[in-house]
Amino acid sequence: MKGSTYRRCSCRDPKSGKELGTSCPKRNSRNHCTYSVRQELSPREDGSRRSFARGGYGSLKPAQADLDHVRALLGLADSDDPEGTELIAEMLAEVSRERSPLPEVEETRRRLNAGQDLIGSLTVAEWLDRWLAGKRIRKSGLNRYETDIRIHLKPHIGGRRLDRLRVSHLSEMFTDIRDANAQILEDNTQRRAAIDELATVPWKGADNRARRKAMKAAIDEMPPYRRITGPATRQHVKATLRAALNDAIGQQIITFNPAAHVEIDPVRKPKALVWTDERVAKWEQTGEKPSPVMVWTPQQTGAFLDFVAKDRLYAMWHLIAFRGLRRGEACGQPWSETNLATHSLTVSAQLVQDGWDVETSEPKTDSGFRVVALDNDTVEVLEHHRAQQNADRAEWAAAWVDTGLVFTQADGSWLHPGKVTDLFERLVAASGLPPIRLHDLRHGAATLMLAAGIDVKIVSDTLGHSDTRITRDIYQSVLPHVGKSAAEAAAKLVPLQRRTEAEQAARKAAKAAKKAKTKEKAQAMSKRKGKAKRPKK
């Protein structure tokens, strides 16, 4: 196909308005004319001609370079590839019309081989929308992704070209999020201080009422209370973007994932702590929990279960406390997967919240599908619960909702996981025990199993963890007496002189005590014999 560079004069006849072209008297003057390029492209399907044309070059050299660039792009499609030839021709025709920069040859080659659009530049927001629409995961996971994309990713980097996204852009985004957190904390502090000050102003008196009205108006003008974007949320935002960009790499849209290399603040997961007597005493004084994750001692767990023994959902609290089911797994456990004869149940479903709505779902992970062994006491508790449920079914008669679940509302319908949590918190408060979350009852089950000497692999399988490292990382705080036993065992491995001397003294004392006890015993026996030999009066 023909292509050429040529000089062009843009001067016009003042009367007719037509270009003078070669008749311009200044045409031969240096730097008067500009250079242009024109390259014929393959004709359209209807046979009409199309071409790439561009002008305004100050010299021949850049004009020739662009013409060579156009020809290199045309050469990307093989002669026996009419579809590729058509795509490149249409791309160059649009570039010519829009006067946009010529696309890079290698980038165009990659897109052509990957079957991607050659026209236009995909933005981060466009790709995230496309990626999210193609995800086939449960609704709660989609909602979490959508929240990350809508609140954080699109506002900060959505307008950037996907293929030009850099690590520096992501570092800037997370810096902006941290700066916004500082502003949110400051706004919350100011609003809280204003509300506290308003509470000190009396209601009575015209002046006080006017002052209160002015203060309320000022508070209304302040930003509302907002939650900051914490370290865990920032990590999740990063994970969402990383997953989306990995899929873009898999589809050969990009070749580099900046989300895999950006550094942000690590998340420090709280360790589970046991409610020792000292911690309970401090909590009673200050009302503060030592850690967000707290675990009851066996005595405290027993006290709670005794307190809720008459509660309709006692069997659920018992099952979570001893076998460590998650809240949603307990709420969604069907009788069909609960075999009391073989002392086992199979976790195969759960109830999850979507906002405040409830839906059934598969377990959280593949390892969530598991068989959980049941002890005799738990089996007895579940048998009693089933008998009570049968009585409820008979009482409700036709109004009974047959969900087939182990734990239900009074009429047999689903339990709402959120309401179960609220009920648990009320029961804990009423019991007078130190506070724990419902999920901490599951932590307690794990701690009890580890304290009983059960292998960590069995504990991990019972809890539905995908890796024993998760179990070890979360449940390092075993019960106090177990920790003491381990400390004593370790201490005995190191020989110390002072310990040897103390042991020798202890042995001597024990030997002397034994000797004195033997002597005392012999004297007692001698007295008894003496009494036996005395003649009767």
DSSP calls for 457-489: HHHHHHHT-S-HHHHHHH-----HHHHHHHHHH
Per-residue pLDDT tens over the stretch 48-63: 999 999 988 888 899 9
- pLDDT at position 394 over 80: yes
| Pairwise CA distance, residues 235 & 242, whole Å | 10
Residue 437 lies in a domain: yes
**Are 359 and 431 in a shared domain?**
yes
**Are 464 and 517 in a shared domain?**
no
Of the three residues 212, 239, 260, the one that is the final residue of a domain is 260
Residue 456 lies in a domain: yes
| Pairwise CA distance, residues 39 & 17, whole Å | 27
**Are 158 and 296 in a shared domain?**
no
- At 536, the pLDDT band (50, 70, 90 cuts) reads low
How many domains does one find in the chain?
A: 4
- At 491, the pLDDT band (50, 70, 90 cuts) reads low
**Are 18 and 154 in a shared domain?**
no
**Sheet hosting strand 370-373, strand order edge to edge:** 338-339, 344-347, 370-373
Residue 510 lies in a domain: yes
| Pairwise CA distance, residues 320 & 448, whole Å | 12
Share of the chain above pLDDT 70, in %: 89
**Are 211 and 102 in a shared domain?**
no
- What pLDDT is attached to residue 467? 75
Residue 268 lies in a domain: no
- At 9, the pLDDT band (50, 70, 90 cuts) reads confident
Per-residue pLDDT tens over the stretch 119-155: 767 899 999 999 999 988 777 788 889 999 999 999 9
**Are 189 and 320 in a shared domain?**
no
Q: Which two tokens stand for residue 155?
A: 């506002």
Share of the chain above pLDDT 90, in %: 54
Query: Which region among 112-116, 296-300, 464-468, 479-483 has the lowest average model confidence (pLDDT)?
Result: 479-483
- pLDDT at position 217 over 90: yes
| Pairwise CA distance, residues 442 & 494, whole Å | 37
- CATH classification of the domain holding 165: 1.10.150.130
Most confident of 248-262, 303-317, 436-450: 303-317
Residue 460 lies in a domain: yes
Of the three residues 48, 80, 114, the one that is the final residue of a domain is 114
- What pLDDT is attached to residue 385? 97
- What pLDDT is attached to residue 253? 83
**Are 372 and 352 in a shared domain?**
yes
Residue 265 lies in a domain: no
- At 479, the pLDDT band (50, 70, 90 cuts) reads low
| Pairwise CA distance, residues 11 & 19, whole Å | 6
Per-residue pLDDT tens over the stretch 231-253: 989 999 999 999 999 999 988 88
- At 403, the pLDDT band (50, 70, 90 cuts) reads very high
- pLDDT at position 486 over 60: no
Residue 440, Cβ neighbours under 10 Å: how many?
21
- What pLDDT is attached to residue 514? 82
**Are 409 and 388 in a shared domain?**
yes
Segment 165-191 shows an average pLDDT of: 93
More confident position, 108 or 27: 108
Residue 120 lies in a domain: no
Query: Which region among 15-29, 103-117, 271-285, 469-483 has the lowest average model confidence (pLDDT)?
Result: 469-483
Instruction: Tell how far CA 95 is from the center of its chain.
Output: 43
- CATH classification of the domain holding 341: 1.10.443.10
Of the three residues 260, 293, 321, the one that is the final residue of a domain is 260
**Are 408 and 314 in a shared domain?**
yes
- What pLDDT is attached to residue 357? 83
- At 356, the pLDDT band (50, 70, 90 cuts) reads confident
Per-residue pLDDT tens over the stretch 151-170: 999 999 999 989 889 999 99
Q: At what angle do helices 376-396 and 314-323 cross, to 10 degrees?
A: 150
**Are 249 and 303 in a shared domain?**
no
**Are 304 and 251 in a shared domain?**
no
**Are 482 and 500 in a shared domain?**
no
- At 40, the pLDDT band (50, 70, 90 cuts) reads very high
Average pLDDT of every residue of the chain:
87
Q: Whole domain around residue 245: which residue ranges?
A: 125-260
Segment 256-284 shows an average pLDDT of: 90
Residue 491 lies in a domain: no
